[in-house]
Amino acid sequence: MIKTYTKKQHLVTTNVRIPEEELLTYREYALNEGKSFSQLVREILARAILLPETHAHTIRTSKRRSFWDINKYAIKGGDIHASQKIDDVVYGL
């Protein structure tokens, strides 16, 4: 659950540069959700940064794959002699 601000919290005004066309799209989306643009931005930032447990697991567990591990991910099957007759395979000879 995303926390919304209370009137007791001090809100700070900041500037963000967004292309005009995108801003119009974002404002329309916020309007369709029944929110202000500011509220939409606060909620998205809260989900992305202030509540890292929602995304941190997927980020931390993603492992970079090395080129040298390619055989682990290769698809098994097909013609085992294809490399010996590459011209037939590529050019249809």
Identify the band that residue 24 occupies on the pLDDT scale cut at 50, 70 and 90: very high
> How many residues in total does the chain contain?
93
The tokens for 41 are 């931005």
| pTM: predicted TM-score of the whole model, two decimal places | 0.47
The amino acid at residue 69 is D
CA atoms within 13 Å, Cβ hemisphere of 79: 8
**Gyration radius of the chain over CA positions:** 25
The residue written with tokens 């290769």 in the block is 74
CA dist 58 and 89 (Å) reads 40
The string of pLDDT tens digits covering residues 28-75 is: 999 999 999 999 998 888 888 876 555 444 444 556 667 777 677 666
The residue written with tokens 């659950």 in the block is 1
Q: Are 44 and 37 in contact (CB under 8 A)?
A: no
